[in-house]
Amino acid sequence: MTQKQPNLIRRIWVSVFPYPLLTQTEGGGKRFLLRNLILHFRPTSVPEQTMKLTLSWGLGGMALVLVSLQIVTGVLLKFVYEPVPTHAYLSIIRMQQDVLFGQFIRNVHFWCANFLVIVLFLHTLRVFFTGAFHAPRQMTWVLGLGLFILVLASNFTGYLLPWDQLAYWATTISIGMLEYIPGIGHWLENTIRGGPEMGPATLRIFFAIHTAVLPFVIVMLMAFHFWRIRKAGGLVIPTSPGEESEEHPLRQPTVPNLLLREAVVALVVIAFVFMFSVSFDASMGEPANPGFSPNPTKAPWYFAGIQEMLLHLDPSFAVFVVPVMIFLALLFMPYVNYGTLTRGVWFFSENGRRTAAVAAVVGAALMPLIIVLDEWVIDFAAWMPGLPVVVSNGVLPTLLALAAILVFYGVMKRRFDLTREEGIQTVFVFLVVSFLVLTITCIWFRGQGMGLMWPWQVP
């Protein structure tokens, strides 16, 4: 009888981790030391269907790799960086010029931070579009949202540390936005800034939050996130409506089948980040000059959508009411009663795929139109001078937008005979695309005095 050949994955595994990782156990059987360690954290096997790259695109794993790179490079940066306004800028210049691999390490840290926001955004989309937030994964979703906010906070606090013009003024603008949070705005603004003006206290506070508080909380929350994924039985298994999920799905061993796939994703991410960091340097402008603000002064790109909203809505609505409404909707989305559930199937169905595309086109066409009209035509405050500005520029446009979304939902539901989850998906797509349009407009179409102009006219 011919002996069965080990499969390709096992052959690669054995060639990468050969004999030194084998040891004898008391029973005389061979065991992999490394494998035992890994299996303390991972299940011994995973459902075969969840290993398909097209289900998760490895985005959660990519986020983990990026966070890990952030922590390693962040610790290295701490050896050189000095968190005082008189030294911060020069310490980074010195690191870039005199320290071995200093520029490269800063670049990796900088690019990972930016890529992490993009990867998390895509990870959130994939979780949403595959319905992976439904029971029993509600808590995983909620923890994920928390992680997203902490990562944004981490980016924001890190942005100030170089203490160059861009960092100084973008942070000034962003902290200034907090003023519009009703009730606690002024207090929050002064607390985060460490006083009424940007200065040494601001840098000290940002440095402490960025290098101690946030990394600790993010790592804790990530551990919680991973534990919840495991408690839910791993990733979502594709199940169509009316179909019962299989009680005993076909499984494959974690080591080496899943581990090798994860290693490939991790190596690709690391190679990409390293190549990018060798090719493009992290930004570093002129030293901060509190007496001279650049025109236009823009918030970091991930807050650009909110800065654009500030140009159209009353500040308390742009900075507080609308973002909080969206956040609460996302938070409670897994707890809505959806009737029938589809899980693990991208866009839920063929109908869902088609209507998501329609919603994307409507959002991409309508939002620029609204921006242009609001810039030159619509002026509720002038049309209704008797109303307080917060009503004419806040309550009124927000109610109109909500009504438009409801009408859109109703029309799409009737026209395409949508299920509730497909309907919620069309609204979600519409909102995401609209927010992307706002972000792009602020980054590339806003120039001097934040006026609307073509990208080539923007300084």
367 binds ligand HEM (CB under 6 A): no
Q: Which of residues 95-114 bind ligand HEM (CB under 6 A)?
A: none
257 binds ligand HEM (CB under 6 A): no
Q: Which of residues 29-58 bind ligand HEM (CB under 6 A)?
A: 56, 58
157 binds ligand HEM (CB under 6 A): no
- Residues 287 and 89: beta-carbon distance below 8 Å: yes
* CA distance readout (Å), 207 to 69, 202, 442: 18, 8, 28
d(CA 113, CA 107): 10
181 binds ligand HEM (CB under 6 A): no
CB neighbour list of residue 447: distance below 8 Å, 6 or more residues apart: 296, 453, 457, 458, 459
- Residues 241 and 340: beta-carbon distance below 8 Å: yes
Q: Which is nearer to ligand HEM, 203 or 209 (CB)?
A: 209
d(CA 93, CA 147): 31
The correct pick among 46, 69, 105, 120 for binding ligand HEM (CB under 6 A) is 120
Query: Which range touches ligand HEM (CB under 6 A), out of 232-240, 269-277, 376-384, 401-409?
Result: 232-240
441 binds ligand HEM (CB under 6 A): no
180 binds ligand HEM (CB under 6 A): no
* Torsion sign across C-alpha atoms 335, 336, 339, 342: negative
The correct pick among 127, 170, 333, 437 for binding ligand HEM (CB under 6 A) is 127
Q: Three-class SS of residue 59?
A: helix
The correct pick among 35, 123, 193, 298 for binding ligand HEM (CB under 6 A) is 123
The correct pick among 141, 206, 408, 428 for binding ligand HEM (CB under 6 A) is 141
Query: Which range touches ligand HEM (CB under 6 A), out of 35-43, 63-71, 195-203, 271-279?
Result: 63-71
> In the Cβ-directed half-sphere of 320, how many Cα atoms lie within 13 Å?
17
- DSSP string for 105-123: HHHHHHHHHHHHHHHHHHH
Query: Which range touches ligand HEM (CB under 6 A), out of 11-19, 68-76, 140-148, 434-442?
Result: 140-148
d(CA 122, CA 63): 10
For residue 95, how many other CB atoms are within 10 A of its CB? 19
210 binds ligand HEM (CB under 6 A): no
* Torsion sign across C-alpha atoms 308, 309, 313, 318: negative
The correct pick among 132, 371, 424, 442 for binding ligand HEM (CB under 6 A) is 132
- Residues 408 and 430: beta-carbon distance below 8 Å: yes
- Residues 30 and 24: beta-carbon distance below 8 Å: yes
d(CA 254, CA 38): 9
Q: How many residues bind ligand HEM (CB under 6 A)?
A: 28
341 binds ligand HEM (CB under 6 A): no
59 binds ligand HEM (CB under 6 A): yes
On the question of a cis peptide bond just before residue 249, with omega within 30 degrees of 0, the verdict is no
CB of 439 to ligand HEM, least distance (A): 17
CB of 302 to ligand HEM, least distance (A): 13
d(CA 282, CA 29): 52
d(CA 167, CA 162): 7
The correct pick among 70, 73, 140, 211 for binding ligand HEM (CB under 6 A) is 140
154 binds ligand HEM (CB under 6 A): no
The correct pick among 47, 60, 83, 85 for binding ligand HEM (CB under 6 A) is 60
The correct pick among 47, 144, 315, 423 for binding ligand HEM (CB under 6 A) is 144
Q: Residue numbers of the site for ligand HEM (CB under 6 A)?
A: 56, 58-61, 63-64, 67, 120, 123-124, 127, 132-133, 137, 140-141, 144-145, 147-148, 151, 222, 225, 229, 232, 235-236
